[in-house]
Amino acid sequence: MKKVRVLCLALFVLCSFGTARAAEPVKIGVIAPLTGSQANLGTGVVNGIKSAAKRINDEGGINGSPVELVIYDDRNSPDEGVSAAHRLIYEDKVKLILGSIGSSVTAAVQQLTMRERAFLVTPVSMAPKLTQVGDKYFFRVTATAAMRQKVFTGFVVHALKPKTIAYLAANDDLGRSEVESAEETYASIKGPKTVYKSFYDPAETSFTAYLTKIKSLNPDALFIVGDSVHAAVIMKQAKAMGIKSTILSSGEAGTAQFLKLAGNAAKGMYLSLDWSPVFTDPASKKFLDAYILDYGKAPDTKFAVQGWEAMWITAEAVRKAKGMSNPDKLREAFLATNWTGPRGKWTFRENGDPAGVTTFVVVVKDNKFVKVSG
Amino acid sequence: MQLLLQSIVNGFVDGFGYVLMAVGLTLVFGIGRVINFAHGELYTLGAFLAVLFIGHQFPYFSTVFIAPILVGLLGIVIERFIIRRVKKPGLSIWAPFLATLALLVILQSLYLIIFGPDPQIVENPYAYDSINMGFLTITGQDLIVSILFFVVVFCLTWFIRKTRYGMAMRAVSQDRDTSLLMGIDIDTIYTLTWFLGVFLAALAGVLVTPKSTVDPYIGRMPLLKGLSIVIVGGLGSVEGAVVTGICLGLIESLASIYISPSFKDGWGYLLVILVLLFRPRGLLGRTVRRG
Amino acid sequence: MGQRKRVDIAILCCLTLITFAIPWAVKSSFYIHILIMSAINAVLAIGLNLCMGFIGEKSLGHAAFYGIGAYTTAVLSVHFGLSGPLNLLAALFVTLVCALIIGIPSLRLRGPYFAIVTLGFVLILQLLVLNGGAFTGGPMGLPGIKRLTLPNILTGRPFTLSTDIQYYYAAVVCFWLAMIVSIVSINSRVGRAWLAIRENLDLAESVGISAFRYKLAAFLMGAGLAGLAGALYTHYTAFVSPRIVDTWINVLLAAMVIVGGEGTLLGPVVGAVVLTALPEALRFAEGYRMLLFGVILLIVIMFAPQGIVGLAADFAKRRRRG
C-alpha cells in the first residue's frame, strides 16, 4: 500500500512539472446571447472574437501564451449573464470578460465585475451609463449614440435641412439612447422640430399603425432606429404606404443583411456607417480574409467586426501590460491603446469610452452604401 | 379624414391576420380542451417551411397550401403521441398545458439549431406591390390576407355547420360525455381538431410573414395576441374569435394613432382583463362557473 | 405520532442542517451563487405552490409580485437612497397591496380564465415598467442598487451585507420563513379549508367555507413571499431589469412546482433546486441547452407528472406495503 502511495506522489510531482513547462494560456471569458432573440447579433460578435483569437494565436499568442476563450450564452437575460459571470470569475478564474450585447446584461454583469476588480470590455453595448459609474476596469469598443449623432446630425442639418422630424425607434436601450441623443443634438444646433415620437416593441412586425400617423403628419425627415431587420421591414412598409419623408436611420441598418431584406425599398435612405464589408483598407482586408476563411462568406452584419476589434484591442493591452495579474497596469495599457482596425484608429478616454470613432454618412443607392461625406 | 380611413383599413387588415392566428387556438381549446402554448411555434414552422419551399423555387401560392398541411400532420403527431398521453384521468388537469409549454421550448430550440438565428424572408413578389387609391394605400399581401381570411372563415363555418365531422366537433365541444354516448368517435375528433388548429396556425404563418421577416422567435406575438382574442371572444367560439380579432386590430390601429403609440400591445391585454372581470365567458362563449 | 409525521420531521431537520452548514463544504462563490438563486427560486416556488398546489389555481402571474418587490426596492434605493429593513418592508407592503388589487377581481374566476388574467397583469406590468422612463430605468433597468444594511441587534450598529456568503444566509433565512409560513398554514384550519376547496369547491362552499376568502389568503401569502424574494434578489445582484417580469419566469416557476411535485411541502423546493441548477449543469452543451431542458421537462410531464417528491412518496408507499 505504501509503495502505491509513493508511486502516485511521484507521478503527481512529475505531472506538475510537465504542465509547468507548457505556456499558461491566457483565459478570456466571453458572454453573449447565443440563443434568444438577440442570437443573431451575439453569434456574429462571437464569430468575430473567435476568428481574432485564432489569428492572434497563429501570430504567436500574447507574449508566447495562447489565448483561450471561455464562451457562455446569456440568452439576453441579465440573470443568465450574471450567472455566467460568476462561473467565469470563480470557476474558470478569468480576469477579463468580453461582453455583452444588450446594455441591461452588461450593466448587470458590471455590478459583479466592479466588486471583483475584473475587467469588462463590451463590443456592442451603447448605454451611456456604463461609463458613467466610475468603473475603472470597463472599456467600450464601440461608439455611443452621442458620438454617432455628432457627425450625422451635422450632415442632416446642413445638407438635408429638414424642418420637421419624426422618430420611430425600438423600445430598448438602443432605441431610447439614439432618440435621446438625436433630440438633444438637434436642439443644440437648431435642427428640425420633433412632430412625432414613438417606441415600438422589438417583437413588433406590423408598423402600419405608426406609419399611417407619420404619413398624415408628413414630416420632412423620419428617423428610424432598430436593428437591420426592423429597419428593413419599416422601410418596406413605409415605401409601400407612399411615405415621402427623407428617411434617416441609425447605424444598425448599415449591413448587407439590411440591403438584402429591404431590397429596393432602401433606396434614398441616409445613415451613419462605421464599417461595411466593402471597405478595402488593410485592416478590413485582414478581417475579411480571416472571416471568409473561417465561415465561408463575408459577414452579413457588422457585429463580427466589433467582436474582432474588441479581441485584438484586448490582446494588445494584455501584451503591453505583460499579463492580467495587475489590474491597474492593465488599465494603463488599455488607455495607451493605439491600434488600427477595420473601423479606424482606436484610442480611449479616461472613462473607458473610445476617444473618437470614424463615422461616414452614406446613402443607399443601387443597392449599395455610397459615401456622401466623411 | 384620410388618416381615419387608412387607419380603419389597417385595423381590418391587421385584424384579419389576428383572426387567422387565433381561430386555430380557439378550436383546439374549445373542442380539445387544451390551451396549446406551442401554437406560436407552429405558426413559425409554417413560415420556415415557406422559406424553405420558396427557396427551392416553389411558387408562393402553392406553398400557402402545402406548408400548412405538412405542419398539420405534425399536429396530428403531437395530439396522438403527447397530448393524448397526458390527458389520462389520474394526471393533473394541467399536464397538457405544461406539455405544450415544453413543446414550445423544444420547437423553438430546434428552429434555432436547424434554421439558425438569422432573419429570413418569405419571398412573395406581390407582397409589397401597393395599390394606391389616392386616399388609401393597400399592399398586395394585405389583399391576399384579406381574401384568404374570408375563404377560411367561410370554409370553416360551412364545415362546422354542415358536415358530419363539423357537427360532431360542435357536439364534443359542448358535452363530451353525451357525445361519447351518442357514438361519436372522440379520439378521431380530437385528432381532426388538432390537425385543423395547427393547419390554421401554419397558414397564418405563411400569410402574415411576407410583410416582415422570419426567425425562431416570431411565435411569441401570435401566441399572446391569439390568447387574448380567444379569451375575449370566448374559448371555443369561432365567431367570437372573428369578431374579437377584427375589433382588436381596429382598436390597436385607432388607439395607436389617436391615443398612445407606445401602448399598442397593451390594449389586447387590457381587454382580456376587463372582459374576464366582467364577462368571463367572453363575448360569445358559453357560461363559465364563478368561484 | 404516526410514522409518516416522524419521517417528515426528520427530513425537515436534515434540511435545516444542510442549508445552514453548506458554506463549510462549498467554498466556490459560483456554487454559492447557484445556491442563492436556488433559495430565492424556492421561495417563489413555495409561494406559487400555495396558490397552485393547495388551492388548485394556476397562476401565471406570480413573477409579477417578484418583479414588484424587486422594483420597489430598486426605486427606493436608487432614487431615495434607502437600503435598510425599511426597504424590505416597503417591498412587502407594495406587493401585498398589488396582490389585493389583482387578486380580488381575478380570484372569482377559475381554471384557465384565472391563469390568463394573471398572465395579462404580468404583461401590462412589463409594459408599464418598460415605459417608465427614468423612474423605472426603462428597457435598461436600474443598476447600482445599494447593498442591504441591517441593524445589528447585538452592537446596535448597522452592518452591510457584502459577501456572497452573507447573502446566502439571508436567502436561507428567507427560505425558512417561506417554509414556516407554508407548514403553519397547511396544518392549520386555513390549510384544511384549502384542501376542501381544492377537492370540491362547491361542496366546500355548501358547508360554509367562503372559498374566496381562503383563496385570497393563499394568493396574498404567495405574493408576499415573492415580493420579499424580489427585494432580496435586488440587493444581492445590485440590478433589476424588465426581464424580471418576463413571461418565461412564470413558465419556469410553474415547471418548478410541477416537476418538484405540486401540493407537497418539499416539492417546490426540490423543483427550484433542480431547475435552477439544471441550466447551469447543461452549459457543456451550450447550443443544445434549451433543447435538453425542454425535452427533460416534457419527459417529466409525460411520465412522472406527480413530480419528483410525488414519485418518492409513491415509492415509499409501495415499499411500506410490500
Chains interfacing with A (3 or more CB pairs < 8 Å): B, C
CATH code assigned at A47:
3.40.50.2300
Determine whether the interchain pair C143/A73 forms a contact, defined as Cβ–Cβ distance below 8 Å.
no
Mention every residue, 6+ apart, whose C-beta is less than 8 A from residue B281. Answer: B234, B287, B288
Q: Which chain A residues are closer than 8 Å to B261 by Cβ?
A: 198-200, 209-210, 213
C321 backbone dihedrals φ, ψ, rounded to 5°: -75, -45
pLDDT at position C153: 63
Q: Within a 13 Å sphere around the CA of C82, how many CA atoms are in the beta-carbon half?
A: 16
Query: Which among A43, A215, A236 has CB closest to B117?
Result: A43
DSSP string, C67-79: HHHHHHHHHHHHH
Same structural domain, A155 and A262? yes
The tens-digit pLDDT sequence of chain A (374 residues) is: 555 555 545 555 444 444 444 578 899 999 999 988 788 889 999 999 999 999 999 998 888 899 999 999 998 889 889 999 999 999 999 999 998 998 889 999 999 999 899 999 999 998 888 898 889 999 999 888 888 888 888 889 988 899 999 999 998 878 888 898 899 899 888 889 999 999 988 888 888 888 988 988 899 999 999 888 889 999 988 988 888 899 999 888 888 888 888 888 889 999 988 888 778 889 999 999 999 999 998 888 888 999 999 999 999 999 999 888 899 999 999 999 999 988 888 999 999 999 877 788 889 988 888 888 64
Name the grid cell of B110: 430546434
Enumerate chain A positions whose Cβ falls within 8 A of a Cβ in B: 35-37, 39-40, 42-43, 171, 198-201, 203-206, 208-210, 212-213, 215-216, 228-229, 232-233, 236-237, 239-242, 257, 261, 265, 300
- Residue A189 sits at φ, ψ, to 5 deg, of -110, 20
Residues from chain C contacting residue B291 (CB–CB below 8 Å):
107-110, 201, 211-212, 215
Check residue A101 and report its DSSP letter. S
Q: Which domain holds residue A309?
A: 26-143+280-342
> Would the CB atoms of A229 and B119 count as touching at under 8 Å?
yes
pLDDT digits 0-9 by tens, C147-156: 777 776 666 6
**Residue A34 and residue A122 in one domain:** yes
Give Cα separations from A104 to A120, C3, C134 (angstroms).
14, 52, 14
Average pLDDT over residues C216-220: 87
Question: Is residue A9 included in any domain, yes or no?
Answer: no
Identify the pLDDT of residue A269.
92
* Chain A closest-CA separation from residue B241 CA (Å): 20
Cβ of residue B267 closer than 8 Å to a chain A Cβ:
no
Do residues C274 and C78 lie in contact, with contact meaning Cβ atoms separated by under 8 Å?
no
Q: How far off is chain C from A171, nearest CA to CA, in Å?
A: 7
Under an 8 A CB cutoff, do B106 and C291 touch? yes
pTM of the model: 0.84
Distance, in Å, from the CA atom of B90 to the CA atom of B68, rounded to the nearest integer, reads: 34
Query: Up-side HSE of residue C130: CA atoms within 13 Å toward CB?
Result: 25
Q: Which residue of A has its CA nearest to B220?
A: A203
- Is residue A348 a part of any domain in this protein? no
Q: Is the domain of A266 the same as that of A229?
A: yes
Domains, in order of start, for chain B = 2-278 (1.10.3470)
Closest CA to B106 of A194, C98, C99, C292: C292
Q: How distant is the Cα of C137 from the closest Cα of chain A, in angstroms? A: 10
Q: Assess if residue A11 is contained within a domain.
A: no
Of the candidates A181, A180, A214, the one whose C-alpha atom is nearest the C-alpha of residue A195 is A214
Provide the ipTM: 0.84
Q: Pseudo-torsion of CA B235, B237, B239, B240, nearest 10°?
A: -20
pLDDT digits (tens, 9 = 90+) for C228-264: 999 999 989 888 988 888 777 887 888 888 888 877 7
CA distance C197 to C55: 6
Q: What range does the domain containing C142 cover?
A: 3-321
* Cβ(A150)–Cβ(A158) below 8 Å: no
Which DSSP state fits C230?
H
For B226, the closest chain C residue by CA position comes to C116
CA distance C126 to B102: 23
Q: What is the CA radius of gyration of chain B?
A: 19
| Contact residues of C toward B, CB < 8 A | 58, 105-110, 112-113, 116-117, 119-121, 123-124, 127, 131, 201, 211-212, 215, 251, 254-255, 258, 262, 287-288, 290-291, 293-295, 297-298, 301-302, 305-306
Find the CB nearest C33 among A83, A110, A173.
A83
Q: What is the DSSP letter of B120?
A: B
Closest CA to A193 of A215, A218, A165, A213: A165
Same domain (yes/no): A263, A165: yes
The winner for highest mean pLDDT among B32-41, C81-90, C287-296 is B32-41
DSSP state of A21: H
User: Would an 8 Å CB–CB cutoff place A46 in contact with chain C?
Assistant: no
Q: How many residues can be counted in chain B?
A: 291
Within a domain: residue A13?
Answer: no
B99, B272, B291 member nearest C108 (Cβ): B291
* CA gap A80, A77 in Å, rounded: 5
What is the count of structural domains for chain A?
2
Which residues on B lie below 8 Å from C211 (Cβ)? 291
C150 DSSP assignment: E
Q: How many CB pairs under 8 A join B and C?
A: 112
Query: CB neighbours (10 Å) of residue A180?
Result: 16
Which grid coordinates are listed for C44? 417563489
User: Please, are residues C115 and B96 in contact by the beta-carbon 8 Å criterion?
Assistant: no
Concatenate the DSSP letters of all residues of A60-95 into one string. Answer: TTBTTBPEEEEEEE-TT-HHHHHHHHHIIIIIS--S
Residue A247 C-alpha cell reads as 428617411
Q: Give the number of domains in chain C.
A: 1
C305 contact residues in B (CB cutoff 8 A): 86, 91-92, 95
A213 phi, psi to nearest 5 deg: -65, -45
Residues in chain C: 322
Residue spans of chain B under pLDDT 70? 89-93, 134, 280-291
Q: How far apart are CA C316 and CA C98, in angstroms?
A: 41
Contact C29 A72 (CB under 8 A): no
Give yes or no for a contact between A226 and A170, defined as CB atoms under 8 angstroms apart. yes
CB-nearest to A39 from B112, B130, B262 is: B112
Query: Scanning the structure block, which residue is given the C-alpha cell 462549498?
Result: C26
Residues 6+ apart with CB under 8 A from B257: A209, A212, A213, B3, B7
C275 and C232 Cβ atoms separated by less than 8 Å: no
Ranges of beta strands (E only) in chain B are: 130-132, 137-139
Q: Dig out the grid coordinates for C55 from the structure.
A: 388551492
CB contact under 8 A, C117 and B98: no
CB contact under 8 A, B17 and A36: no
Q: Please answer yes or no on whether C254 and B101 come within 8 Å at the CB atom.
A: yes
- Short-list A61, A93, A117, A113, CA closest to A316: A61
Give the residue on C whose Cα is nearest the Cα of A129.
Answer: C143
Q: Which of C113, C131, C215 sits opposite B288 (nearest CB)?
A: C113
Cβ-based neighbour number of residue B182 at 10 Å? 11
With an 8 Å Cβ cutoff, is B265 touching chain A?
yes
3-state secondary structure B167-232: HHHHHHHHCHHHHHHCCCCHHHHHHHHHHHHHHHHHHHHHHHHHHCCECCCCCHHHHHHHHHHHHH
In chain B, DSSP finds a helix count (H) and a strand count (E) of 11, 2
pLDDT for the residue numbered A71: 94
Same domain for A269 and A315? no
Residue A244 in any domain: the answer is: yes
In the chain, the amino acid numbered A271 is L
Instruction: Please list, in sequence order, all residues whose beta carbon lies within 8 angstroms of the beta carbon of residue C89, skipping any fewer than 6 positions away.
Output: none
Q: Indicate whether A236 and A364 sit together in one domain.
A: yes
My answer on whether A51 and A85 are in the same domain is: yes
Cell of B159: 364545415
Beta carbons of A285 and A372 less than 8 angstroms apart: no
Taking one residue from A and the other from C, the number of pairs with CB-CB distance under 8 angstroms is: 87
Give C198-202's long-range contacts (Cβ < 8 A, gap of 24+). Answer: C198/C54, C198/C55, C198/C56, C198/C263, C201/B291, C201/C110
Asked if residue A75 belongs to a domain, the reply is: yes
Q: In what order do the strands lie in the sheet with A164-170?
A: A193-200, A164-170, A221-225, A246-249, A270-273, A360-365, A368-373
Contacts of B248 (CB under 8 A, 6+ apart): B15, B18, B225, B228, B229, B232, B267, B268, B271
A85 touches chain C (CB under 8 A): no
- Assess contact for C237 and A108: CB atoms under 8 A: yes
Q: What is the per-residue pLDDT for C3?
A: 64
